[in-house]
Homo-oligomer: A and B are copies of this chain.
Amino acid sequence: MLEGAARVIARRGVRGLRVAELAAEAGVSTALVYYHFKDRPGILRHALAFIGDRADRYTALAEGFPPADPADPRELLERTMLLEFQDLPEVRENSTAWGELRAHSVFDPELREELAQAGTAWVAEVAELLAAASPAAPGPAVGAAAERLTALLEGLSVRWLSGLLPLWHARELMREGVRAEIDLLGQGSSSHTHAFD
C-alpha cells in the first residue's frame, strides 16, 4: 500500500494524489486506506517516511559494490551521486516523489521537519565522502562543497525528470560537478575568503 502511495505520488505529485486513485492502485477500498492512515495528511506522512527509507537503502548500495570496493574515495562519491540518475522504475519513482515532496515543502511547513532531517543527513553523508576524497581540506569548505553538490543534484534531477535534460547529460554534468568541487578543495584554501555582503 505504501508502494502504491509512492507510485501515485510519483505519477501525479503530492497534490495530485487522490485517495481513490491510491486505493485503486493498491486494489482496496478508500475506506481501508483511511482505516490505515487516518486521513490524507497521514497518507503523506507515511509515504514520505517510506520513500526516505527506500532512498537510504539504495544509497547504501554505492558502498559495498562491484568494481573496487575500498577504492578511490572520489569514485565512491561520484558513484553515490549518480545513483539518483538511473532509468530504473524504482529510482525514477523515488527521485520523482522525493523531488515533489521537496518542492511541496515550500508551501507546506508540516512537511519541512522530516524533510530537513533527511536533507541534513544526506548533506552530511556527502560531506564525509568529500572529506575522504580530499583529506587536507578544511571542514567548512567541505561542508559548503557538500551543500553545493547536493543542491546541484537536486537541480539537475528536476530537469532530468521533467524531460528538459537527457539522462546521460545530467550524469555528465553531475560527474564534472563532483570533479570541480574536489579540484577546488584540493587546490587549497588560498584567497577564496570574502567578508563583504
Contact = CB atoms under 8 A, between A and B. Distances in A.
Contact of A173 (B107, B144, B180): B144
Most chain B CB atoms below 10 A, which of A102, A156, A159, A171: A159
Contact of A152 (B102, B106, B107, B148): B148
Nearest 9 A/B pairs, CB to CB: A151-B155, A103-B103, A155-B155, A15-B15, A154-B155, A106-B162, A105-B162, A13-B107, A152-B152
A175 B159 CA distance: 22
A63 B98 CA distance: 37
A161 B106 contact: yes
Nearest to A147: B173
A104 interface: yes
Chain A residues touching B, majority SS: helix
Interface of A: 11-13, 15-16, 96, 99-100, 102-107, 109, 112, 115-116, 119, 144, 147-148, 150-156, 158-159, 161-165, 168, 171-173, 175-177, 179-181, 183-184, 187, 192, 194, 197
B107 A99 contact: no
